[in-house]
Amino acid sequence: MRPIKFQRTLLPFVAFQAAVGTLGGFIGFFVVGNQDIGAIFQYSALMLTFIAGSLTLAYVAGPKLGLSSKHILKLGFFIPGFILLTGYESVVSMAAAFGILQGFTWAARHLLEMSMIPDEERDSYASKAGALSVVGGIAATLVATLVLAWSHESRQWVYELYGIACVLASLILGRNMSSVPMKPLVNPVGVMKQREFVTAMPLFFLQSGFLGLGLAVGAVGASRALGSASSFGWVGTAAALAGGIGLYLTRNSRGVDNRARWLCGSCMAVAFSFSLLGASAWIPVLFVVFTVVKAVADPFLGASELVLNQKALEIQGELNDRIVAREVAFWAMRMVSLGAFWLLSGALTPIQLLATGSAVMATAVFLEFLIGQGVFAADGKKAAQPAYAVAR
């Protein structure tokens, strides 16, 4: 299948993945809504473990069971949908539902994107994927918010809504999509030992190592600033709309030659948004401003990170090994940062926790820009070299 045609079949899946992914924000709000800071850290740790475990399981068990990327994609929606529809609500079950959703669907998406989309088309694809992710997120958040308002803040209705959506997605998506077979792992440990992989570890840490911490800090800020889950949903909808407008206005501006500039602008905007989140510890209304600014900047940063991640994975080794090696590294770094902050939270008040966590996140995004800019600059110099120079 031609790359452009393949993109058209993959993008609906990307939009639906983002739509169902908005469930994570509501779960975090519900957990912290009980004023249990420890519960959000427990949820985050379990969720991160389910992400890494389910992604690795897909690559270990998939080849033995004769599964393809399309099967993994469908399982990534069906299993969480089943969990949500059982009606059993606990920190563990919600972490399993969201973690398996992210782990399985990203296992399929990473494999498809790295196998089917050439480097020169990654920027345009990333822009389209980001735009459709915003559309999917707006639609899902708006519907969930209306359900909350109609049901008098019933979280069970929200879980059932997302559960039905997941099951339907498992039945509908992927019918006309090309599929990549799941190959057995060969030597993921060998990938981790490569100098190029070790060199990329600081970037991986800054880019994804603080995922759990970011979720926890955001949930704390939302619970302090907003009085109800439906208020959280309305703010999220408005913010996502702002991000969609920004993407639309710049839809034709991304390219290989300006990757570093887009990374710079999006990192600075996200870092600024985290400073607003920290300030919301004293001025709660700033949480709304943080949500809008971050929603506008996130799609642009996500597009840059998508390209940056794929460039970092262009090293030796089987593609499956490289994906699993990176995910295991992600899990270890996320758990270290989350665990360290969990221990620190025992000595901090909620206000101090919010301010400190936000400062850490802002600093991490700024450092990511510095390293990512170097990666793109080095790649540009390599591409500009004459063929005979590269050969030597």
- Residue-wise pLDDT for 211-251, tens only, equals 666 666 766 666 666 555 556 556 666 666 776 677 667 76
Q: Are 288 and 316 in contact (CB under 8 A)?
A: no
Domain holding 296, by residue range, is: 3-383
Average pLDDT of span 295-313? 80
Please indicate, yes or no, if residue 337 is contained in any of the structural domains: yes
> 82 vs 10, which has greater pLDDT?
82
Distance CA 114, CA 101 (A): 20
Comparing CA positions, the residue from 262, 5, 247 lying closest to residue 138 is: 247
Please indicate, yes or no, if residue 391 is contained in any of the structural domains.
no
Asked if residue 388 belongs to a domain, the reply is: no
Residue type, 38: G
What is the predicted pLDDT for the residue at 389? 45
Residue 181 has φ and ψ, to the nearest 5°, of -65, 145
Q: Does pLDDT of 390 surpass 50?
A: no
What is the pLDDT averaged over residues 157-163?
Answer: 89
**Bridge partners (DSSP) listed for residue 68:** 181
Q: What is the mean pLDDT of the chain?
A: 81
Whole-number pLDDT of residue 85:
92
Inside any domain, residue 326: yes
pLDDT in tens, 175-204: 777 788 888 999 999 999 998 888 888 887
- Read off φ and ψ for residue 153, nearest 5 degrees: 65, 35
Whether residue 147 is predicted with pLDDT greater than 60 in this model: the reply is: yes
97 has pLDDT over 50? yes
Alpha helices (H) along 226-349? 229-249, 259-279, 286-312, 319-345
Q: Taking residues 110-120, what's their average pLDDT?
A: 83
Per-residue pLDDT band for 392 (boundaries 50, 70, 90) equals very low
> What is the pLDDT at residue 222?
62
- Give the residue, 46 or 115, on which the prediction is more confident: 46
Q: Is residue 389 part of a domain?
A: no
Read off the tokens for 28. 């975090």
Q: Which two tokens stand for residue 105?
A: 């669907």
pLDDT > 60? residue 2: no
Q: Which residues contact 388 (CB under 8 A, 6 or more apart)?
A: none
Q: Has residue 366 been placed in a domain?
A: yes
Q: What was the pLDDT predicted at 96?
A: 93
Residue 55 lies in a domain: yes
> Does the pLDDT of residue 328 top 60, yes or no?
yes
**What is the rounded CA–CA span in Å between residue 111 and residue 178?**
12
Specify the number of domains making up the chain. Answer: 1
Read off the pLDDT of residues 65-93 as tens digits, 9 standing for 90 and up.
999 998 999 999 999 999 999 877 788 89
Average pLDDT over residues 287-306: 80
For residue 392, being part of any structural domain is answered with no
pLDDT value at 295 more than 80: no
Mean pLDDT, range 362-377, rounded to an integer = 85
Instruction: Identify whether the C-beta of residue 323 lies closer than 8 Å to the C-beta of residue 110.
Output: yes
CATH of the domain at 139: 1.20.1250.20
Across 184-198, 218-232, 253-267, 322-336, least confident range:
218-232
Rounded to 10 degrees, the C-alpha dihedral 64/65/70/74 comes to: -130
% of residues, the chain, pLDDT over 90: 21
Q: What is the pTM of this model?
A: 0.78
**For residues 53 and 49, what is the distance between their CA atoms, to the nearest angstrom?**
6
| Highest mean pLDDT, choosing among 61-75, 108-122, 311-325, 357-371 | 61-75
User: With helix as H, strand as E and coil as C, how does 3-45 read?
Assistant: HHHHHHHHHHHHHHHHHHHCHHHHHHHHHHCCCCHHHHHHHHH
Tell me which amino acid residue 290 is. Answer: F
Look at 129 and 177; give whichever has higher pLDDT: 129
Angle at the Cα of 279 from the Cα atoms of 239 and 330, rounded to 5 degrees: 70
Instruction: Give the Cα separation of 239 and 202 in Å (integer).
Output: 30
